[in-house]
Amino acid sequence: MNGQPANPLPDPDEPAADDGEIVPSDAPDQKLMRSNPGFGNYFNRELSLLQFNLRVLQLAQDLTIPLLERLRFLAISSTNLDEFFEIRVSGLKQHVAFDVPLSSADRLSPRQALTHISDACRNLVSEQYRVLNEEILPALDEEGVRVVRRTDWTPEQARWVADYFEEFVLPVLTPVGLDPAHPFPRILNKSLNFIVGLKGKDAFGRSSRAAVVQAPRVVPRLIEFPKEISEKAHEFVLLSSVIHSNVGALFPGMKIQGCYQFRVTRDSDLWVDEEEVDDLLNALRGELLSRRFSGPVRLEVANNCTVEMRDYLLQLFKLKADDLYSVDGPVNLHRLSALYDLVDVPKLKFPLLKSGTPTGLEAGTDIFKAMRRGPLLLHHPFQSFSPVVDLLRSAARDPNVLAIRQTVYRTGNDSPLVAALIEAARAGKEVTAVVELRARFDEAANIDLATQLQEAGAKVVYGIVGYKAHSKMLLIVRREGKRIRRYVHLGTGNYHSGTAKAYTDFGLLTCDEVIGQDVHNLFQQLTGLGKVSNLGKLLQSPFTLHSTVIDLIEAETAAAVAGREARVVAKMNALIEPQVIEALYRASCAGVEIDLVIRGTCCLRPGVPGLSENIKVRSIMGRFLEHSRIFYFYADGQELAYASSADWMPRNFFRRVETAFPIEKKKQRRRVIEEGLIPYLEDNTNAWELQPDGSYVRVQCADKEPRFSAQEHLLNLLGDGSPYYDQIIPLRGED
């Protein structure tokens, strides 16, 4: 994906097992990690999430993936793990610190969970650096891309580094000698730092055994050597090496006893008592400042760091030995992902993404007219996200459009959708944006966005106290002659043009009157006050989605008990909610055939005789981040299909405003089944199957079986925008 963003982080609810053993991805008969120690019928969610991160790491080992893409998957596994510590581990530590029991279906106590997590993470980190040092860096070297270690610099490179340090790094460095007048400095979350051992006295007669050097954030972490002193086509040096090799210049006359990288990960979960604050935006703005220096949860150090220095840092940050990770390389692997943009070698990257143009939405099409002909189904990134952008732009400029309402969870920088909302507001239209300020790690961006929209004259609200507005809805109110018509977009993904090229998602464009009224009612809930309105077609959290999902599963159970055909297929990011899992267990015991495609966390235990032998769970990992949520029920031949913004998790069902929308038109329902479900059940290239003990095994092609990748199939199918209505592939039985 030249020029496209890396797979962003998944939602932090998503590995291993009793001892976290890791085996190479080319060993199909071995388990990726040992069993998940969850209780009885449920897996532990944190360990399941770590299993997901291991699958990301396995993509970094996949020789069929271009080399720089493998490096990005390695970097993603590192940033995923950072977030895991910032949110999941920090939360468990708080439960332990305050002796608060954790109510979870797997029944592991917070202390037990942390013990298993520590073992699994230690093995995972060790494998990350092994993959870096033994697989990816040597392979890059063979392709003419090299990150040169200090010990391998040529004399010319060493001189160049010294000059670079003198000119660009030294002026922005502030070394801090540790003594009574210079206490240990505040260490920013996940920042690069050095602890330096010293001996001797300075000009004032002061002596100190240690100093801290904080790497400046204004200097790039990866620096390219000039071509004239490079032995390869592309040679780079890490900022950490530049500082390390010149650290003596910071302490003239002192003897350097040692210089060691370290990084601290801090609790990054924001908490604001929404019922007590008058202004949520300003309260969150204050919390964001404190998040950078909140409680430490992990310490990473270079593996050459002395025991004395490690113990000193652990004591300083009030951490235990289990919180320490010694690494063989840079303490932040994510920094190496900069190579992706710095090295322009097409064969080392995925081919340029060419999303198809949906039939009937070619350039120049009147999108309002196209929507009046009937609903339009979009499948990203295989089909372009441009129709959604075009719809909003057209609405902003159309004199007949009276009002625009949109939910905003994540939009990205320089968003064309935000620009269109601002244009519409400045043109005098009634623009309402429901901005979710608490979108994790996007809080600062959303605060800025809310401010921009307010300054343009838009009405900005922050949803409902205690409930995140996670639904993806756009409503356009247009005057057409003597009537008012509502145009709607509903989606499974965010209004983010960048991630629309990296996430798989479905979207529906429609001017269906009932759906339009439903979306209007939902916006009324989000912006005003009143009782819950009955919705005609949409399902909504926290009111009807959970109960309806269980009712639909129970209907399949009843059909199976009566001897009729029954089938459930669902695709989502995470499956955690116990009542839904219990309903699936009952359905399995009744004989319902159940297939689940769960990208990340899955607490359901499949394939257990007498409990879940009719349930299969697989995870698909590949070039694109699988993000769409699709729920299919045979329903005595009606074949109901819903697309949704919600996973089957407690937070999505009970603590968020979510929607699920039916795919009613037969051809579009067929498309959702044939594009969103069947290929993922048939994938034998990028699929992992969940075992009854909680481990995942990568699916391998049988002898002479053709290789099939769901994502590649959909790129070939939809990339040119050709329609896909030539055959029906039923989702039931053997036919």
* 86 closest CA partner among 300, 335, 332, 270: 270
Contact 87, 269 (CB under 8 A): yes
Nearest 5°: the CA angle 449, 454, 459 is 110
> Which residue is associated with the tokens 């993509």?
59
**What's the number of CA atoms in the CB half-sphere (13 Å) around residue 365?**
19
* 621 closest CA partner among 114, 57, 96: 57
Contact 6, 337 (CB under 8 A): yes
Cα Rg of the chain (Å, integer): 27
Tokens at 648, concatenated: 């089957």
* 310 closest CA partner among 331, 291, 292, 294: 331
State yes or no: is 470 an active-site residue: yes
DSSP letters along 54-68, please? HHHHHHHT-TTS-HH
Q: In sequence order, which residues have a C-beta less than 8 Å from that of residue 157 and are 6 or more positions away?
A: 148, 225, 229, 235, 237
Sign of the C-alpha dihedral computed for residues 44, 49, 54 and 58 taken in this order: positive
Sign of the C-alpha dihedral computed for residues 700, 702, 707 and 710 taken in this order: negative
C-alpha to C-alpha distance for 465 and 446, rounded to whole angstroms: 17
Contact 12, 88 (CB under 8 A): yes
How far, in Å, are 507, 515, 523, 527, 653 from residue 520 at the CA level? 18, 8, 5, 11, 21
Pairing of strands 296-302, 503-510: unpaired
| 636-653 burial: b if 16+ Cβ within 10 Å, else e | eeebbbbbbbbbbbbbbb
Catalytic residue among 470, 489, 496, 713: 470
List the catalytic residues. Answer: 470
